[in-house]
Amino acid sequence: MDFINKVGSTIARKAKEAAGISSLNSQISTQEDIINKLCLEIGKTVYEKRQLFPDTALDEKYTAVSNAYAEIDRLKSEIISVKGAKQCPNCGIEVALAASFCPSCGTAVPTPEPGPFVENIEIPPERIIYYHQEDTMK
Ligand SMILES: [Zn+2]
């Protein structure tokens, strides 16, 4: 009976120990999340104020971030174009094709001239299929 009590007590102690470790690991994870979030904010602040932090070690990263922002702008413009809408030249938001002014900043938004349905697509000569119209020419 003593042996069974001793084993039971050891199992209970091990379970309590495991729960304690799990709780501590969870608290470490919470602190790591706080660090990651704050470091991200610090990084964004440093990027935004990069003129105040001239650091040649960071120049390459500053440029990469700027390029990524430019690519996001280009992709957003492409989405607006695919949707058949137009973009405010001032604030960049999507504006309905029929609107004359940006609903957000009030800037005049010119309606683009209707372009050709297919524009500047170069078809390699080997992909061009010629149809002989002899039958319809009769
Ligand atoms: Zn605008």
If you measure from the C-alpha of residue 109 to the centroid of ligand 1, how many angstroms do you get, rounded to a whole number? 8
Q: Specify the residue for token string 């610090």.
A: 42
Q: In this predicted structure, what is the pLDDT of residue 68? A: 97
Query: What are 17-30's pLDDT values in tens digits?
Result: 999 999 999 999 99
Q: Quote the CA–CA distance of 65 and 72 in Å, as a whole number.
A: 11
Query: Residue 14 pLDDT more than 60?
Result: yes
pTM beyond cutoff 0.85? no
Query: What are 48-84's pLDDT values in tens digits?
Result: 999 988 777 899 999 999 999 999 999 998 999 898 8
Q: In this predicted structure, what is the pLDDT of residue 56? A: 79
If you measure from the C-alpha of residue 94 to the centroid of ligand 1, how many angstroms do you get, rounded to a whole number? 8
Residue 80 in contact with residue 93, Cβ under 8 Å?
Answer: no
If you measure from the C-alpha of residue 70 to the centroid of ligand 1, how many angstroms do you get, rounded to a whole number? 18
If you measure from the C-alpha of residue 26 to the centroid of ligand 1, how many angstroms do you get, rounded to a whole number? 46
Looking at residues 119-137, what average pLDDT do you find? 63
If you measure from the C-alpha of residue 118 to the centroid of ligand 1, how many angstroms do you get, rounded to a whole number? 29
If you measure from the C-alpha of residue 45 to the centroid of ligand 1, how many angstroms do you get, rounded to a whole number? 25
Q: Quote the CA–CA distance of 101 and 92 in Å, as a whole number.
A: 12
If you measure from the C-alpha of residue 53 to the centroid of ligand 1, how many angstroms do you get, rounded to a whole number? 31
Q: Which residues contact 58 (CB under 8 A, 6 or more apart)?
A: 46, 50
Q: Quote the CA–CA distance of 100 and 112 in Å, as a whole number.
A: 11
Q: In this predicted structure, what is the pLDDT of residue 138? A: 47
| pLDDT category of residue 47 using cuts at 50, 70 and 90 | very high
If you measure from the C-alpha of residue 120 to the centroid of ligand 1, how many angstroms do you get, rounded to a whole number? 29
Rounded (10°) angle between helices 56-82 and 2-48: 80
Residue ranges per structural domain of the chain: 2-111
Query: What are 109-121's pLDDT values in tens digits?
Result: 988 665 555 555 6
If you measure from the C-alpha of residue 84 to the centroid of ligand 1, how many angstroms do you get, rounded to a whole number? 17
- Which residue, among 108, 109, 106, has the nearest Cα to 85 in the 3D structure? 109
Q: In this predicted structure, what is the pLDDT of residue 103? A: 95
